[in-house]
Copies of this chain bind each other. A is one copy, B any other.
Amino acid sequence: MSPDTMILRALREAGLGGVSGASLAKDLGVSRAAVWNRIEELRRHGYDIEASPHLGYVLRGSPNALHGDDLMARLPRNRVIGRDVRVFSETTSTNDIIEKLARDGVAEGSVVFAETQTRGRGRMGRQWHSPTGSGLWFSVLLRPRLRPSAATQLTVVSAVAVARAIERETGLRPDIKWPNDIMFGQKKVAGILLELGAELDRIRHATLGIGIDVNVDPAELPPEVREVATSLRAELGRVVDRASLATAVLRELDHLYQRLGDGDFHEIGDDWMRRCSTLGRRVVIHIGDRRVTGRAEALDDEGALLVRTEFGTIERIIGGDVTQEKAP
């Protein structure tokens, strides 16, 4: 744990009670002057830290910015997801960075955020717009013990984690559109891109890319995106704290991913179904050149969508582009 992570964790745990410089110096194994230097540095980053003669240091406020050390300080100690968190000001795509870490043999759970991406990716090779500083654009390295055919379980878990975190932080309850779009009505607020490095029967690693339009002003987006996109700020009418939401997503993801590993997919799938706007609707799905039309009936044990076609047969869909009829 870095000194800044330790200091911020101690300050958050102490709350308004404060923590003394002597105690911080002891925990870090450095002088009180060195603690003071780190505190000054954190203040320069926008942390409002009061030095009180009686209470010691008290954290009064945090900047609406992303700092890896602070995000780690806000996460549980025994976490898998977020065991390492890095924040870049700009990358091509956070998935690219995680891919590189994966090939270097880094353990699962590393997370990379970027304030903006120059080549953010959506599904099917599409572009993803990442306006600077107003969204959460991040990727997570996973090494799940799943067969490639069960990889859809990961997007189900991720969609539930994002939806729950948004609900917790804003009180709003978004829908999930199969497999992994987070929507308010017909407008998308967050998307998930899962990329796999696999052999035929084994996932070597999975890169989970998540994009959330937190405080994005829809006017910042290109016209064709603007019509189908929204942001939490646009829905809520106020700015949302990105660091707090990022922490909430990583906590949920850590919790659900560990439950997935314990074999509890079924229960997560049930929550997904309750939040899903696709089930029960008529859908048209484009998979490459194919087109499947029918009624979305259920999710199976591997996260695939079961669609009853117009011919009465059940098609098992693992991907593709879904158009669903509007709510009745």
Contacts and interface: CB of A to CB of B under 8 A. Distances in A.
Interface of A: 96, 99, 103, 123-124, 145, 147-149, 151-152, 155, 179, 193-202, 204, 287-288, 318-320
A123 B318 CA distance: 25
A76 B320 CA distance: 37
Nearest to A148: B148
Contact of A202 (B155, B204, B319): B319
Contacts of A319: 199-202
B123 A199 contact: yes
Nearest to A100: B103
11 contacts: A96-B103, A99-B103, A147-B287, A148-B148, A149-B318, A193-B199, A194-B200, A195-B204, A196-B198, A197-B197, A202-B288
Contacts of A200: 151-152, 155, 179, 194, 196, 318-319
Contacts of A147: 287-288
Nearest to A196: B198
Contacts of A204: 195
Nearest to A195: B199
Contacts of A145: 288
Nearest to A304: B200
B202 A199 contact: no
Given A103-B99, A202-B124, A196 B195 contact: no
User: Which 3 residue pairs spanning A and B have beta carbons closest together?
Assistant: A201-B319, A200-B319, A196-B198
Most chain B beta-carbon contacts within 10 A, residue among A145, A199, A287: A199
